[in-house]
Chains A and B, each alone.
Chain A
Amino acid sequence: MCALLVGVFGLQAQEYFPSNTGVQAAKNTNYTVFRNGTIHLSPTQTIENGMLSIQDGKVVAVGKNVSVPQNSVVIDLEGKEIYPSFIDVFTHFGVSKEEPQRGRRSNPQYEASRKGYYWNDHIRPETRVQDHFQFSQSDAENLRKQGFGVVSTHTPDGIIRGTGMLVSLSSDDELGTRILSDRTAQYLSFEKSSKSQQMYPTSLMGAMALIRQVHHDADWYAKGGATNKDLALEAFNRNRDLLQIFKAGNLLNGLRADKLGDEFGVQYAIVGDGFEYEKLDQVKNTGATYIVPVNFPKAIDMEDPLLASYVSLQELKQWNQAPSNLRMLSEAEVPFVLTSFESGNEFRNNLIQAVAFGLEKEKALEALTTAPARLLGQEQNLGSLQEGAWANFFITSGDYFDKETVIYENWVQGERNVIEDMSIIPIGGKYQLEVAGTSYEMEITGPPSKPSASINSGDQKIGSKVSYQDNWLTLLLSSADTTDQRFTRLVARITPGFSKINGKAVLEDGSETTFTAVKTEDLASDNKNKNDHETWEVVPVSYPNLAYGFEELPEQETILFKNATVWTNEDQGILENTDVLVRNGKIAEVGQDLSSRRARVIDATGKHLTPGIIDEHSHIAASAINESGHNSSAEVQMEDVVDPDDIGIYRNLAGGVTTMQLLHGSANPIGGQSAILKMKWGGSAEDLILDDSPKFIKFALGENVKQSNWDSFSRFPQTRMGVEQVFIDYFTRAKEYQARKNSGQPYRRDIEMETLVEILNGERHISAHSYVQTEINMLMHVADQMGFDINTFTHILEGYKLADKMQERGIGGSTFSDWWSYKYEVLDAIPQNASIMHNEGVTVAINSDDAEMSRRLNQEAAKSIKYGNVSEEDALKFITLNPAKLLRIDDRVGSIREGKDADLVLWTDHPLSIYAKAEKTMIEGVVYFDLERDAQLRQDLAEQKNFITTQLLQAKNRGVKTVPGKAQEKEEMHCDTEVLF
Chain B
Amino acid sequence: MKILNITVLLAFLLIVGSSSAQQTPAPAQSQAISIVGGTAHIGNGQVVENSLIIIENGHITSVGSATQGQPQGTVIQAQGQHVYPGFIAPNSTLGLVEIDAIRASDDEDELGDFLPHVRSLIAYNAESKVVESMRPNGVLVGQITPRGGRISGTSSIVQFDAWNWEDAVLYEDDGIHLNWPSSVRRGRWWMGEDPGIQPNKAYQEEIAEIETFFANARAYVAGPRNQAHLPFAAMEKIFNQQAKLFIHADGEREIIDLLNFVDAQELENVVLVGGASAYKVAPQLVQRNIPVLVGRVHNRPAQADDDYDQAYKLAHLLQQAGVLVGLESSGSMERMNTRNLPFYAGTVVAHGADKEEALKMITSNTAKILGIDDRLGTLEAGKEATLFISQGDALDMRTNKVARAFIQGRDISLQTHQTELARRYSEKFGHQQE
Chain A interfacial positions (CB closer than 8 Å to B): 99, 102-103, 306-307, 309-310, 312-314, 546-547, 647, 650-651, 654, 703, 708-709, 800-801, 803-804, 818-824, 827-828, 830-832, 836, 839-840, 851-853, 855-856, 859, 862-863, 865-869, 872, 909-910, 912-917, 934, 938, 941, 945, 964-970, 972
Closest B residue to A817 by beta carbon equals B397
Whether the pair A823, B395 counts as a contact (CB closer than 8 A) is no
Given contacts A102-B192, A310-B197, contact A823 B99 (CB under 8 A): yes
Q: How far is the CB of A316 from chain B (nearest CB, A)?
A: 10
Whether the pair A836, B191 counts as a contact (CB closer than 8 A) is no
Whether the pair B397, A914 counts as a contact (CB closer than 8 A) is yes
Whether the pair B196, A913 counts as a contact (CB closer than 8 A) is no
Which of the residues A307, A546, A803, A917 comes within 8 Å of B350, measured between beta carbons? Answer: A917
- For this complex, 8 residue pairs linking A to B, each with C-beta atoms less than 8 Å apart, are A310-B303, A546-B304, A818-B339, A824-B99, A839-B426, A862-B397, A865-B397, A910-B398
Whether the pair B196, A968 counts as a contact (CB closer than 8 A) is yes
Given contacts A312-B305, A821-B130, A836-B429, contact A306 B101 (CB under 8 A): no
Whether the pair B305, A800 counts as a contact (CB closer than 8 A) is no
Q: How far is the CB of B15 from chain A (nearest CB, A)?
A: 14
Does B299 have its Cβ within 8 Å of any Cβ on chain A?
yes
Interface centre among A310, A938, A968, A969 (most CB of B within 10 A): A310
CB-defined contacts of A547 to chain B, threshold 8 Å: 304-305
CB-defined contacts of A102 to chain B, threshold 8 Å: 190-192
Whether the pair B197, A859 counts as a contact (CB closer than 8 A) is no
Which of the residues A651, A915, A934 comes within 8 Å of B301, measured between beta carbons? Answer: A651
Task: Give CA–CA (A934, B400) in the complex, Å.
Answer: 31
Query: 0/1 per residue, B335-348, Cβ < 8 Å to A?
Result: 11001100100110
Query: 0/1 per residue, B233-266, Cβ < 8 Å to A?
Result: 0000000000000000001110000000000000
Which of the residues B184, B194, B304, B431 comes within 8 Å of A314, measured between beta carbons? Answer: B304
How would you classify the secondary structure of chain A's contact residues: helix, strand, loop or mixed? loop
Which of the residues A310, A832, A916, A934 comes within 8 Å of B418, measured between beta carbons? Answer: A832
Which of the residues A821, A840, A909, A913 comes within 8 Å of B336, measured between beta carbons? Answer: A821
Given contacts A800-B422, A827-B99, contact A651 B397 (CB under 8 A): no
Q: Given contacts A821-B129, A914-B396, A968-B304, list 12 more A-B pairs with CB under 8 A.
A: A306-B183, A312-B303, A313-B304, A801-B425, A828-B421, A836-B431, A853-B298, A855-B308, A863-B397, A865-B398, A968-B196, A969-B197
Closest A residue to B350 by beta carbon equals A915
CB-defined contacts of B434 to chain A, threshold 8 Å: 869
Whether the pair B197, A967 counts as a contact (CB closer than 8 A) is yes
Whether the pair A967, B303 counts as a contact (CB closer than 8 A) is yes
Interface centre among A306, A307, A934, A966 (most CB of B within 10 A): A306
Given contacts A914-B343, A915-B350, A969-B304, contact A822 B101 (CB under 8 A): yes
Which of the residues A99, A654, A820, A965 comes within 8 Å of B308, measured between beta carbons? Answer: A654
Whether the pair A914, B398 counts as a contact (CB closer than 8 A) is yes
Does B102 have its Cβ within 8 Å of any Cβ on chain A?
yes
Q: How far is the CB of B19 from chain A (nearest CB, A)?
A: 9
Whether the pair B304, A821 counts as a contact (CB closer than 8 A) is no
Which of the residues B195, B198, B340, B419 comes within 8 Å of A964, measured between beta carbons? Answer: B198
CB-defined contacts of A855 to chain B, threshold 8 Å: 308
Given contacts A546-B304, A804-B429, contact A913 B398 (CB under 8 A): yes
Task: Give CA–CA (A803, B183) in the complex, Å.
Answer: 51
Does B307 have its Cβ within 8 Å of any Cβ on chain A?
yes
How would you classify the secondary structure of chain B's contact residues: helix, strand, loop or mixed? loop
Closest B residue to A655 by beta carbon equals B308
B379-434: which have CB < 8 Å to A?
395-401, 418-419, 421-422, 425-426, 429, 431, 433-434
Given contacts A866-B400, A866-B401, A914-B398, contact A650 B308 (CB under 8 A): yes
CB-defined contacts of B183 to chain A, threshold 8 Å: 306
B173-201: which have CB < 8 Å to A?
183-184, 186, 190-192, 194-199
Does B288 have its Cβ within 8 Å of any Cβ on chain A?
no
CB-defined contacts of A801 to chain B, threshold 8 Å: 425
Whether the pair A306, B350 counts as a contact (CB closer than 8 A) is no
Task: Give CA–CA (A628, B395) in the complex, Å.
Answer: 42
Whether the pair B99, A821 counts as a contact (CB closer than 8 A) is yes
Closest A residue to B130 by beta carbon equals A821
CB-defined contacts of B395 to chain A, threshold 8 Å: 914
Q: How far is the CB of A300 from chain B (nearest CB, A)?
A: 11
CB-defined contacts of B340 to chain A, threshold 8 Å: 818
Which of the residues A821, A865, A913 comes within 8 Å of B100, measured between beta carbons? Answer: A821
Q: How far is the CB of B259 from chain A (nearest CB, A)?
A: 14
Q: How far is the CB of B323 from chain A (nearest CB, A)?
A: 20
Closest A residue to B304 by beta carbon equals A312
Whether the pair A852, B298 counts as a contact (CB closer than 8 A) is yes
Given contacts A103-B190, A818-B336, contact A912 B422 (CB under 8 A): no
Does B6 have its Cβ within 8 Å of any Cβ on chain A?
no
CB-defined contacts of A647 to chain B, threshold 8 Å: 304
CB-defined contacts of B347 to chain A, threshold 8 Å: 856, 914
Does B229 have its Cβ within 8 Å of any Cβ on chain A?
no
Q: How far is the CB of A929 from chain B (nearest CB, A)?
A: 9
Closest A residue to B307 by beta carbon equals A938
Given contacts A651-B300, A912-B398, A914-B350, contact A934 B308 (CB under 8 A): yes
Whether the pair A821, B335 counts as a contact (CB closer than 8 A) is yes
Closest B residue to A103 by beta carbon equals B190
Whether the pair B300, A852 counts as a contact (CB closer than 8 A) is yes
Query: 0/1 per residue, B86-115, Cβ < 8 Å to A?
Result: 000000000000111110000000000000
Q: How far is the CB of A704 from chain B (nearest CB, A)?
A: 10
Whether the pair A306, B252 counts as a contact (CB closer than 8 A) is yes
Interface centre among A830, A863, A914 (most CB of B within 10 A): A914
Which of the residues B184, B190, B346, B422 comes within 8 Å of A915, measured between beta carbons? Answer: B346
Task: Give CA–CA (A831, B419) in the complex, Å.
Answer: 9
Task: Give CA–CA (A867, B401) in the complex, Å.
Answer: 8
CB-defined contacts of B140 to chain A, threshold 8 Å: none
Closest A residue to B195 by beta carbon equals A968
Does B349 have its Cβ within 8 Å of any Cβ on chain A?
yes
Whether the pair A966, B336 counts as a contact (CB closer than 8 A) is no
Closest A residue to B423 by beta carbon equals A832
Closest B residue to A831 by beta carbon equals B418
Closest A residue to B198 by beta carbon equals A964
Q: How far is the CB of A581 from chain B (nearest CB, A)?
A: 29
CB-defined contacts of A865 to chain B, threshold 8 Å: 397-398
Does B222 have its Cβ within 8 Å of any Cβ on chain A?
no
Whether the pair B198, A823 counts as a contact (CB closer than 8 A) is no
Task: Give CA–CA (A938, B252) in the complex, Å.
Answer: 20
Q: How far is the CB of A942 from chain B (nearest CB, A)?
A: 9
Whether the pair B198, A819 counts as a contact (CB closer than 8 A) is no
Whether the pair A969, B429 counts as a contact (CB closer than 8 A) is no
CB-defined contacts of A709 to chain B, threshold 8 Å: 101
Does B333 have its Cβ within 8 Å of any Cβ on chain A?
yes
Whether the pair A839, B299 counts as a contact (CB closer than 8 A) is no
Task: Give CA–CA (A824, B102) in the complex, Å.
Answer: 7
Closest B residue to A647 by beta carbon equals B304
Task: Give CA–CA (A306, B343) in the complex, Å.
Answer: 32
Query: 0/1 per residue, B119-140, Cβ < 8 Å to A?
Result: 0000000000110000000000
CB-defined contacts of B335 to chain A, threshold 8 Å: 821
Closest A residue to B254 by beta carbon equals A306
Whether the pair B426, A836 counts as a contact (CB closer than 8 A) is yes
CB-defined contacts of A917 to chain B, threshold 8 Å: 350-351
Q: How far is the CB of A533 from chain B (nearest CB, A)?
A: 27
Q: How far is the CB of B14 from chain A (nearest CB, A)?
A: 16
Q: How far is the CB of B308 from chain A (nearest CB, A)?
A: 4
Task: Give CA–CA (A821, B340) in the complex, Å.
Answer: 15
Given contacts A824-B102, A830-B418, contact A800 B303 (CB under 8 A): no
Task: Give CA–CA (A371, B256) in the complex, Å.
Answer: 57
Q: How far is the CB of A948 from chain B (nearest CB, A)?
A: 12
Q: How far is the CB of A152 from chain B (nearest CB, A)?
A: 28
Whether the pair B305, A821 counts as a contact (CB closer than 8 A) is no
Whether the pair B194, A966 counts as a contact (CB closer than 8 A) is yes
Task: Give CA–CA (A102, B351) in the complex, Å.
Answer: 44
B349-363: which have CB < 8 Å to A?
349-351
CB-defined contacts of A912 to chain B, threshold 8 Å: 398
